[in-house]
Structure 1
Amino acid sequence: MRPFPRLHLITDTRPGRDPLAVVAAALAVAGAGLAVQVRVEDEATDRDAYDLATRVRAFCAEAGATCLVNDRLHIALAVGADGGHVGALDLPVEAARRVLGPRAILGATAREPASAKAAVDAGATYLGVGPAYATTTKDGLPPPIGIEGVAAVAGAAGVPVIAIAGVTAERIPDLRAAGAHGVAVIGALSGAPDPVEATRKLWDALR
C-alpha cells in the first residue's frame, strides 16, 4: 500500500480559476505524494462534477497520485476515484462507508476529539481538521481551532490528520509538530501567481 499523501489539493471551481491547470502544476511537483480532492461549488450540476472528476482522475492515474471526490460520493464511484470525503452536512460517515465500500479511502471533517473518534469508529480512514487558521476561501466556517486544536484531534484520532484552512509553507512546521500528517490547500495554490513554485514550497516544507 502506498503511503498516505501529505499534500492534499482541493479543486477551486470559483469563477476565474482554472482547476485543471493547478492540478497539473501540483502533480508536476508532488506526483504520487499528492491527493487531489475534487470539490465543486454547490450550484454545480452533477454533470459538471463528473466531467471535472473524470479529468482529474486521469491526471492522477498518470502520476500515480490519489484522487478523492468531496461530498458527491456517487461521482467518486462513477469515475473510479480512490475514495471520497464527507463534511458535517454530507452523508454520515457510517453511511458514506457503506456507499464507497470497505476498501475505499474515506475522509471526514472533524474539529475536536470526540467527533474525531466518532468518525474513525464509523469508518473514516483520515480526518480533515480545521479550520486551522482563518481563511477567506470558504464562507460560513466556524472559528479557527489553531495549533492547539489540531494537536488535540491528532492526539485522539489514531488516523492521519490533514490540517486545512489558512495553510502556508511557513505554518507547516508548526502543524506537523502538532501531529498533523499533512495539509490540505485551496487558495494557496489556486490563487498563486506560480502554482508550480507555490507547490514546491509546500512540498519542501512537508518533507
Structure 2
Amino acid sequence: MKQPFDLSLYLVLDPDLCRLHSMVETARAAVAGGVTAVQVRHKRASTAERIALARDIKAALRDTKALIVMNDDIEAAVEAGVDAVHIGQRDMSPALARERIGPDMLLGLSVNTESAARAIDPGVVDYAGIGPVFATPTKPDHEQPLGFAGLAHVVAACPVPAVAIGGLKRQHVSDVFAAGAHGLAVVSAICGMPDPRESATAMWIAIRQARNGL
C-alpha cells in the first residue's frame, strides 16, 4: 500500500554541494529542519553505491516521516527499499517503471510542458516535478526555464500533485505556492549552506507563511 506523502519541502541531494557535510548528514539535518522529502541523486555513482547510500539515508531518517526518493535508478530504488523513484522524460516510460517497481512504491515524473503534464496517467504516476522554473547549474542539460507564469500553466494541466524545481530559493516560496504547486524542490538552497538544518528551517517558516497568506 502506498504511503501518504508531503511535497512541501523536497530536498534533492547533490554530492558536490554536500562536500562540507556528507549526503547522509545533510539529509538528517535538513529533515530535522523541516524537509519533507529527500531525493538521492548521484549521477556518477554505480547502482551498488546508490543502494548503499540510500540504505544509509534510510537508517539516518528511520524515526522521521520524510519521503525517501531514488533518482532514475529503478534497480537501486527496489533493492534499497526506498519510498519512491523519480524518472525524467528521457528515461523509461512511466508504465514500464510502474511495472518494475510494483503497485506500492511511489513514482514521480519530471515534466516541462502543459502537454506532458496532461499526458500523465494518475493511475501510474503519483506526483510530478515541474521545471525548471529558473536556469540552474546543478542540472546543466535542463529544458527551457518556465518562470512562474509557465509554472502555473503546467501545474494547472497536471492531474497529480506537483513540486516545482529549478533555481528556487527562500524568496521564491510564495510565488511557488501562488502558482498552485504543492511544494518546491531545492538543491543549493540547503545542500550548499554551512548549516543545512538552519537553512531548511528558514525555508519551512517561509512555506508556512505562504500557506497562511502572511
SS at match of 2:57: helix
Alignment map for 1:88-127 (pairs within 5 Å): 88-121=89-122, 123-127=124-128
1:84 aligns with 2:85: yes
What is the match of residue 129 of structure 2?
128
Does the 8 Å contact 2:41/2:71 carry over to 1?
A: yes
Q: Distance in 2 between matches of 1:75 and 1:148?
A: 36
What is the match of residue 192 of structure 2?
191
Q: Distance in 2 between matches of 1:177 and 1:15?
A: 29
Does the 8 Å contact 1:131/1:141 carry over to 2?
A: yes
C-alpha root-mean-square deviation of aligned residues, in Å? Answer: 1.6
TM-score (normalised: structure 2): 0.89
Aligned length: 204
More displaced, 175-184 or 93-102?
93-102
Q: Distance in 2 between matches of 1:123 and 1:117?
A: 13
Looking at both structures, which has the greater relative contact order when contacts are Cα pairs under 8 Å and sequence separation is at least 6? 2
Does the 8 Å contact 1:68/1:82 carry over to 2?
A: yes
Does the 8 Å contact 2:7/2:163 carry over to 1?
A: no
Does the 8 Å contact 1:110/1:130 carry over to 2?
A: yes
Q: 1:140 to 1:3 in 2, by over 3 A?
A: closer
TM-score (normalised: structure 1): 0.92
1:14 aligns with 2:16: yes
Q: Distance in 1 between matches of 2:150 and 2:61?
A: 31
Alignment map for 1:33-72 (pairs within 5 Å): 34-41=36-43, 43-72=44-73
Structure 2 portions without partners, runs of 5+: 209-214
Q: Distance in 1 between matches of 2:26 and 2:126?
A: 26
Counterpart amino acid of residue 168 in structure 2? V
Does the 8 Å contact 1:163/1:182 carry over to 2?
A: yes
Q: Which has the higher helix share?
A: 1
Q: 1:10 to 1:16 in 2, by over 3 A?
A: closer
Work out the percentage of aligned pairs sharing the same amino acid.
34
Counterpart amino acid of residue 56 in structure 1? I
Deviation at 1:3, TM superposition (A): 4.6
Deviations for 1:85-117, whole angstroms, at most 9, x for unmatched residues? 001221111111111112221100001111112
Structure 1 portions without partners, runs of 5+: none
Deviations for 1:114-165, whole angstroms, at most 9, x for unmatched residues? 1112133571110000001121112111221111111111111121110001
Q: 1:121 to 1:63 in 2, by over 3 A?
A: closer
Q: Distance in 2 between matches of 1:92 and 1:57?
A: 27
What is the match of residue 171 of structure 1?
172
Q: Distance in 2 between matches of 1:156 and 1:15?
A: 33
1:147 aligns with 2:148: yes
Counterpart amino acid of residue 126 in structure 2? T
Q: 1:16 to 1:83 in 2, by over 3 A?
A: closer
Kindly report structure 1 stretches of 4+ aligned residues shifted beyond 3 Å.
none
